[in-house]
Structure 1
Amino acid sequence: MVWSSNAKGNFCSAEAFDAIRKKGTTVWWHKHVWATATHPRISGIAWKLIHNRVPVDTTLQKRGIQLASMCCLCGKEVESLNHLLWHCNRAKDLWSWLCHLFGCNYDFEDLEQAFAKGNNFSSLIKDLWNVGVLAIMAEIWKGRNKRLFEEISFDAYSCSYKVRWWLRAAGKLSKGTPRIHSTDGAILRKLGVNASIPAAPRIRPCKWIPPDFGFIKLNCDGAAKGNPGPAGVGVVYRDDHGNVIGALSMGMGATTSFCAECEAIMQGVEWALRNNWTMLWVETDSVAACHSFGKNQVPWHMITRWNLAIKGLQRLIISSTWREVNFAADCMANHGVSLPSGCIQAFVGRPSLLNKVEDPHYVYYRFD
């Protein structure tokens, strides 16, 4: 008996719960509200406001409660959440102040437009902008409650001070980096945020190594445009002189990248056996797939195929490599994405679509 929701067939309580739970639709704003840089307290208040789970006057009226309504901040309009956050004069002053800090124009009237203003910023400044937007919403709501229930007048200066505090906290939580030689430095000085200079990328050389005499090397790759999403597999076969002696692409339909990587290895070995190649070096850029096959812990739906395949092999080596020296297989996998599910295109020799292959005499570089 196997647990079909798990690639290895093992029962997992977390996956069982995920299989039976009711799943809501994905909302566009979740990555902004639950971002790493956003303090959980701000996220919680913002979630309530976005879902309109707050007792503003218009919401109470819709529930049948009869009451006269007036915005307790400006005293001019009926209190709705839309007015309170975006159209109240006191709120507009705070939005204008935030835009001045970030050097942008104040021309938005809802949350989606406000978040869109940060799209042109660097990753760090965008994180700070998003937190600033959510912090102002939260502080307006807290200021409204103090005015209504404690009769403490709304203080824009106190509100802006608290927003600055949330922004400084976000600067420590954010994983983003500023742009060099841009206005980011001036913005960070205004906010009082100390940004760490991004470390220079580590440069590591790598080479494609041909197989030993008598071996055939299979460079395998799986591609999924989304996870899950439309997927394909690609395999390139090369001899001990580095010559391409065959290639393969296959469409998989919608699946995960891990399943695509595993299927690439499986298809590669099976096609090699059809050509009577029994001494194989399988190389993939997926460490997870390499460990899975290397420890004979293949996905449960491939166990029978894999056991039959390895019986026909004389020698088998499985290793992982970097993408920088696996680009030929990646090209074949991307071609496989465009094929119908289950459609296999196998080539004898080097196919015309493979414009470039790894040169064993050339040094490639990985930046990370």
Structure 2
Amino acid sequence: MDYFSRSLNQLFSSTPHLAYQHKSNVCISHLAYADDVIIFFKATKNATKMLYKALKHFSAHLSWRLWLFLLPTDDILKMKGLRGPSVCLLCLVEEETLDHLFFYCNFSKKVLNELLPKFKNDTMNLSWFNFFNCWEEWNQINLQVLPCIVAWFIWMCRNSVNYEGSTPLVKAVTTHCTSYQQKIIKYHRFTNIFRNWVPQVDIQCNFSFSLIEWAPPPTGWLKANTDGSFLKGSAGCGGVFRNSLGHHVLHFSSPTWALDAVETEMIAIYWALKIAVQCNMGIFNH
């Protein structure tokens, strides 16, 4: 994710017209998390095409790092002098190495055991014990992308456990792998290797782009925009009040307690209304 973040920074630096321009003149290209990213850019066709091209390049980068032993697993970090206690975060049994994480870990084996029955018979006898042999054998039947897809989602799961403390779930990884493979089969005419799934080719998807902007309130009014964030029991909410000219009037933010994301959003709305009443903004005067 660090490489992806740097790649996006480089892209927006070299092509500043991609950036979403805000009235505050603060340019934020993206927000990166352990296994997720939010990208802010102009909603134009040219900008979308350029960003899509950059994302396609990054999807191939994981395979390249696998080939050159550049993924920062514990064994690779030790080779670079960063020594410390090592354990595979997915099985909590063996030391984390490149081969163990993707091929010998019990978690990864379970992922493979759930995926293989979904494929047709001619894929059942292909090897899955070393990335090079694995890629070579799958390449012979023009399915070399599949080991890369599985490795990608295993790596994302590992990072989510490492940086966010999430629980590794075999079902979640296999679902991501299956869904991604079905998408590239449907939209890119990739060979269908699934036993009991046929893409709905009769459905045509027409994509359209629209620019969503903040709309100011009528003259003499104030508008409050609120938001809530919820993650594993931790929650926070906030909001901002603006006038008809788009000028900032006041804002608020606070940690809170909620059972889920919906309740967090409702708490943010509650505090916006309460603040409006306490500050005599004219609400409920009629």
Pairwise TM-score range, normalised by the shorter structure:
0.3 to 0.5
Looking at CA atoms only, which structure, 1 or 2, has the larger radius of gyration?
1
TM-score by length of 2: 0.44
Greater relative contact order: 1 or 2 (C-alpha under 8 angstroms, separation 6 or more)?
1
